[in-house]
Structure 1
Amino acid sequence: MFKRQKNFVTALIGQTRSKFYCNKIEECQGDQKSLFHVADRLLHRKTADSCDIAAEKMSDFFMKKIRDIWEELQCHDDGNEEMPLGDPVSRTPPKLEVLSPAGIEEVVRIIKTMSNATCDLDPMPTSLVKQQLDVLAPLITAVRN
């Protein structure tokens, strides 16, 4: 009797859950964000925690990247590869008192040397920027300056 009742309740919960999520999906009415939120809840995905973890990983990545760049700049400072580095984070970088404007040629040269790698978050693929450089270079230069 217990097993029969347990199976009945389990089936009833399954039907109720199915109706609940069907109604939630219908309520989305084509709203992708809401639909993905429902799917995440249905699949028991943790969205808030994963965002915190992703932000922490991104922060760690950029801190490491800054240290690596700083160390590389220190190595190439006077052409001496064996230069002692110390702790790059504790050292005070030189003050930038004047930033001279960049010319279009300089911006074009820098963009042409960039990798064609593109992230899904980029508004425009790097290869497209390079293809349309004659049109975009003056705008990028103006924004930079």
Structure 2
Amino acid sequence: MDNINLPLTREFASCLDRFGLQNMIDFPTHIKGHSLDLVCCSGLTPSKPTADVFPATDHSLLTFNAVLRLSTIKSPRLISFRDIKDINIATLCSLIDSFPTTDSTSNPDELVTLYNTRLTNTLTSIAPLKTRSVSFSTSAPWFTPELRSMKAKNRQLERLYKRTGLTIHNDMYTSHITQYKDLISQTKSTYYSGLILSNEGNSKTLFSVLKKILHPPNSLPLHLYSTESCNSILDYFNLKIHSIHQHLHPNASPLSPPALPPTCHLFSSFLLPTASELSVLIHKSKPTTCQLDPLPTTLVKSCRL
């Protein structure tokens, strides 16, 4: 980043400006005298950035001071829920049986609206929506007391090496870091392996574990969720798409859509399913429920609709 004449350097700096990021490093961070390691911030201004020698690498360790607008206590969130498990199935079935007969001349849209409205009102009457304020504060389940003790030992050895600068203390610090990393990898592997083996056949839990591993929770700062930041990202990609279109060959002919096959059969009438056939299909369906469903699938199957 110290050579502004390089095309990649100019493009990267332009990309930082586009997303509202600012590079705070303007001094060498490599033994060759170049600025390779950066500290890019948005909405935050770190102070006193320095580059220190880091063991077993030709890159420097960047340190800086920053005032973080974070709190150890997470703000509570308001959640909504219903006491589905406390619903009396007999009461629910009697309420549904008391529905007035629908008009046979109604179109499908009217029938769907009527179905959703009646079931939603019935569910609200016997299991009203409740709200509760909760706080979510979870830590890594695999982080054991042994790892916490080793992490504290790392801090002690790091301070000892910085205070004395002796080679023997540097070797002790480097060796302990390697052991700490190996133990983290081993502990995480053991934890997730046991979790997967103990939930064999439970696809819901397995997919949840896989999602947590591959897609961890978002940890971006709050100001990046603002309308201005989102519009800035949108403008950036729109500009890239426009630039790509300008570089395309102007005489390139668009691909013609494939010809549709000729219509061979016409459906003039439909055979409606019987109530028993619908009941069989409902009971064969999975118990999963969408938030748009007026009634949870488990209750629908229990009432034999």
Which structure is higher in helix share?
A: 1
Coarse TM-score class (shorter-chain normalised): 0.3 to 0.5
TM-score (norm 1): 0.33
Q: Bigger relative contact order, structure 1 or 2, given CA contacts below 8 A and separation 6+?
A: 2
Query: Which structure is larger by alpha-carbon Rg, 1 or 2?
Result: 2
Which structure is higher in strand share?
A: 2
